[in-house]
Structure 1
């Protein structure tokens, strides 16, 4: 099962038929995806399941209905075990961005972290999960698929937020501060930290 966030609310892709309770259930093959997304943004739908019988084809079927944007980003730790966060559009987020032509995913992740925060000397230590969310650009809805990487750095220089990307603040946050920041973050970022906790247990 995949979890896609639309307006920070879950849209599940499933190959199981589930009975509607507090959610809507649709057939992925026949759904008008734009109309579904509009309903999410207009708060007419808070949670929905899209059904397709073949689990291997679920994501491809969705991709055939909406333009896809590939991105990569970093969950970056420093020597003190703090995590690198950025603050933009009123929320805490992690550095990430779209792939340039000819780039590998790992290269994108490292470049984006450097550009958005000023942090360098980055080493990828683990490949994490992908997150999925829908956003609107130039009047069109797109599906952003972000591949995340755990990274380490011994950088202790100045943090410089990329202004043209609307980044107001960059900060190293300790575990207590992270819990607080996640209260004002995005659902897919919270998901990432839930998975990270499981990995560390």
Structure 2
């Protein structure tokens, strides 16, 4: 199954016939993608299921509709098992950014977390999940973000990267994360859920 968000509404590409939500179901091979994008951007539907008989092949066909932008980021824990969040453009987020040319995904993830939060002494524990979302900027782009579980025992003051629209950086406890989730993106919830299932 692949889950791609537009405006926080999911397109779920699946080979499963089991209905797990109330979204309309379309057959992948009969789908006109521009119509689906329009529906999710403008209509009241909250998501769409695309039924596929050949998931990997159909996923590759789906990707051909976009410029794919690759990014990497991290869910960072500290010795108290709190999670690092950034506050960017009035929404709680996890630090992430573009992978530069000839840069490994892991190095990009560490660099972006350091740049956006000012934290150091990062170590990657393991790969968590890959998330996808569609945005509209000079055409239709699909951002593919590779997320890593990281740890740091850096105790110095965190510094938000103001030029990236980040105004706050903070470690949050379990209780505080419930509040964060009232103002965050669906993909961030997926990353956190992947962390909780480890």
Partner of 1:77: 77
Moved more, 33-42 or 114-123: 33-42
Taking structure 1 as the reference length, the TM-score comes to 0.91
Partner of 2:11: 11
Aligned residues of 2:8 and 2:186 also touching (Cα < 8 A): yes
Unaligned runs of 5+ in 1: none
Moved more, 190-199 or 87-96: 190-199
Match status 1:146 vs 2:139: no
Partner of 2:134: 134
Moved more, 126-135 or 100-109: 126-135
Q: Deviations over 1:148-197 (max 9, x none)?
A: 00001111112111122111111111111112111211111111222221
Partner of 1:123: 123
Aligned residues of 1:160 and 1:170 also touching (Cα < 8 A): yes
Match status 1:91 vs 2:101: no
Match status 1:161 vs 2:160: yes
Taking structure 2 as the reference length, the TM-score comes to 0.92
SS at the partner of 1:183?
Answer: helix
1:46-85 → structure 2 map (5 Å cutoff): 46-85=46-85
Q: Deviations over 1:22-77 (max 9, x none)?
A: 32333334433233222211134321112331122132111111221111100001
Partner of 2:181: 182
Counterparts of 2:170 and 2:116 in 1: how far apart (Å)?
A: 12
Q: 1:182 to 1:81 in 2, by over 3 A?
A: same
Aligned residues of 2:125 and 2:151 also touching (Cα < 8 A): yes
Partner of 2:195: 196
Q: Deviations over 1:83-139 (max 9, x none)?
A: 11001122110000111000110011000001111111110011101111111223x
Counterparts of 2:184 and 2:191 in 1: how far apart (Å)?
A: 11
Counterparts of 2:120 and 2:33 in 1: how far apart (Å)?
A: 40
Aligned residues of 2:149 and 2:195 also touching (Cα < 8 A): no
Partner of 1:39: 39
Q: CA RMSD in A?
A: 1.9
1:90-109 → structure 2 map (5 Å cutoff): 90-109=90-109
Count of aligned pairs between the two proteins: 198
